[in-house]
Structure 1
Amino acid sequence: MITTFAKNQSLILIVDDEAFSRMQLRLALEREGYQIAEACNGREALNICEKTHPDIILLDAIMPDMDGFECCTRLHSADFSQDIPILMITGLDDQESVDRAFAVGAIDFVTKPIHWPVLRQRVKRLISESQVQKNLEFANQELQKLVTIDQLTQVANRRRFEEYFAQEWKRLIGEKMPISLIMADVDFFKLYNDNYGHQLGDRCLQAVATSIQNTVQRSSDLVARYGGEELAIILPNTDTPGAVTVAENICSAVRKLAIPHNCSPVSSFVTISAGVATMIPQPNFHYQEIIVLADRQLYRAKTSGRDRVEFSRAGTYYDQD
């Protein structure tokens, strides 16, 4: 059974096959205010580590079945634990063992019998360094969000749209698989802003973008704010019928929001128009080609009455067979 640990206290995972050694370590570290999880072998350590994500691992080098060196190697190859600092505890103080400990990913080591003041300081230092690293990674992630996320709608921004489209276009050239694009526009949005004001206009865009994001559920699909009230949805590995279905679903989802729009000539609620285009990427074409096609279909949807989907499947670009 995995214990639930408090988030405001550092968690140390002790891995040792000897119960007495684990008890000594646990009592000494609990006095320092740390939370403790225990594993009696390498396999149990991997299982506990995946579920609890400790701040540091104290790992005995000599254990039956899976020794500390192999366990350390596995911990560093697993996604859930590769960044957790590992302090190896070993009765071996020869140069070969020390070199091996660092080679498999240990960040530090202490030898048995344990000198407790040394262990206390090394644990404190490693946890502090680990926390600094986590804070830096979080700050970098937040910075990346600022670079790639539209601050109003919280979907991808134009920059991220361009990057992702270029990436998927290149990938699908090799796979010879289709990619579809939906260009969607909020109908009569200028009239909405003029009538309800820009603050409600922003809320309207946020609601529409969220609705589209919730409708487009594949992790490989990207919803982006292309500009103004126009949103774009990239659908890799998607043919025309599949893309049209997605477009119809997002139009339906926006209608169901039932956002009042008393100035709209087509509905008493906010609606969107959508244009769909599909291509199998070719080396001699640029992804901008499909944007032109989808924009053309969006224009058709607008001039045909709005609140609808129009699509293109041009034989020059899309192999229907």
Structure 2
Amino acid sequence: MPEMMPSFHNPPLILVADDDKTMRLGVRQAMEQDGYQVIEAHDGNTCLSVFERVRPDVVLLDAIMPAIDGFTCCRRIQEMSGIRRTPVLMITGLEDQDSVDKAFSVGAVDYITKPIHWAVLRQRVKRLIQQVRLYQQLETANHELQRLAAIDSLTQVANRRRFDEYLQQEWQRMLREQLPLSLILCDIDCFKLYNDTYGHQAGDDCLRQVAQVIQNAAKRAIDLPARYGGEEFAVILPNTDQEGAILVAQDIQTGVKNLQISHTASKVCDTVTVSLGVSNTIPSVITSPELLINAADKALYQAKAEGRDRYCTCLS
């Protein structure tokens, strides 16, 4: 999933960088009058250090400062900002066209000249804050939409689309690093009979509980549990050998049995159980993720054929 945006300070945090102490004091008072938090820097080096530490919401930056001037400082700030471009407003006595062009070329979003018209500065900062808030709201909404598009709404684990994307991604990564990749396919035993006996609402609740067991068994952040389809789940286990994958499969099998969900119509026992197929490989340029899936599917079929409520393995 995409990286989340940095949070917005509340109240908004303004970094004021100017080598003139009187100017910094004037800007601070104007900003605090509007309820903003203010932090100061007296030169370019300090500005960059403070920016990296506190990540302010807006930077008010003097163009002419010792050591590192405002133009260089602005460019560095935008490089450090990453996915969230920090609004920089240049405050300077320079009014020539070249200076104005240079300010915008290094990433400034606005420009105000000295002597400062305080009402104008306050309005421009207010507008920048509104833009930052709107941008963050849009990013938050976009991330939520992406999250929802990757999640199975019933079980809250990854959906099939996310499974396919992640398997391709991790296959390529394990191929580059020549590390093992494991896959577990997991099927709830006699689930159609469960639905027929207890109803679809109980079936949905069963799916949710089993999904939670699988989520708990996939302990690492890089492990991806997913609903593969119907009553079938999958777990992608990057950088995991067969022995490690078997341990996860055993955790899932035990965890589901410990749920003690009654299933009187089961052909296995009187509670809900699962069958699991485990496959493992080190990706190569002459193999594909489909081979890993096929091997796990073959192992799952074998587990069912041998009586269910067990795991079987197959190397791809």
**RMSD across aligned C-alpha pairs, in angstroms?**
2.9
Say which of 91, 94, 103 aligns to 2:96.
Answer: 94
Q: Residue in 2 aligned with 1:138? A: 140
Tell me the residue number matched to 1:242: 244
User: Structure 2 length as normaliser, TM-score?
Assistant: 0.83
When residues 285 and 73 of structure 1 are mapped into structure 2, their CA distance, relative to the original with a 3 A threshold, is: same
SS of aligned partner of 2:171: helix
1:64-106 Cα offsets, whole Å, 9 max, x none, are: 4544334333322235674221112223333443333223222
Aligned residue type for 2:101? D
Report the identity percentage. Answer: 51
| Alignment-derived partner of residue 3 in structure 2 | none
- The residue aligned with 2:39 is 38
Counterpart position of 2:165: 163
Quick one: structure 1 residues 15 and 185, their matched pair in 2 at CA, closer, same or farther if it must change by over 3 Å?
Answer: farther
What is the match of residue 18 of structure 2? 16
User: 1:260 matched to which residue of 2?
Assistant: 261
Q: 1:106 to 1:174 in 2, by over 3 A?
A: same
Task: Give the deviation of 1:51 after TM superposition.
Answer: 6.0
In 2, Cα distance between equivalents of 1:105 and 1:259: 61
Determine which of 99, 123, 126 is the counterpart of 1:124: 126
How far did residue 55 of structure 1 move?
2.9
Alpha-carbon distance in structure 1 between the residues aligned to 2:15 and 2:205 = 47
* Correspondence list, 1:66-81, <5 A: 66-78=68-80
Instruction: Measure the CA separation in 1 of the matches of 2:53 and 2:249.
Output: 39
1:154-233 → structure 2 map (5 Å cutoff): 154-233=156-235
**Which stretch of structure 1 is more off in the superposition, 226-235 or 267-276?**
267-276
How far, CA to CA, are the matches of 1:269 and 1:50 in structure 2?
56
Q: Distance in 1 between matches of 2:308 and 2:20?
A: 73
Counterpart amino acid of residue 99 in structure 1: D
2-structure distance, mates of 1:49, 1:184: 49
Other structure's SS at 2:312 match = strand
> Of residues 295, 299, 302 in structure 2, which corresponds to 1:300?
302
Q: Secondary structure at the match of 1:155?
A: coil
**Secondary structure in 2 matching 1:78:** helix
Any idea what the Cα deviations from partners look like across 1:252-299, whole Å, max 9, x if unmatched? 34344x242242454555433211111233334332222111011112
Looking at structure 2, the residues matched to 132 and 57 of structure 1 have their Cα atoms a distance apart, in angstroms, of: 17
Unaligned runs of 5+ residues in structure 2 are 1-6
The structure 1 segments of at least 4 consecutive aligned residues displaced by more than 6 Å after TM superposition are none
Tell me how far apart the structure 1 counterparts of residues 275 and 153 of structure 2 sit (CA, whole Å). Answer: 23
| Deviation of 1:198 (Å) | 2.2
Change (3 A) 1:194 1:64: farther
**Take 1:44 and 1:213, find their aligned partners in 2: how far apart are those partners?**
46
TM-score (norm: length of structure 1): 0.82
1:150-194 deviations in whole A, cap 9, x for unaligned?
111222211121122223333444444332111012233333333
Partner in structure 2 of residue 275 of structure 1: 277
Determine which of 282, 290, 307 is the counterpart of 1:288. Answer: 290
How many aligned residue pairs are there?
308
2:155·2:208 contact (CA, 8 Å) conserved in 1?
yes
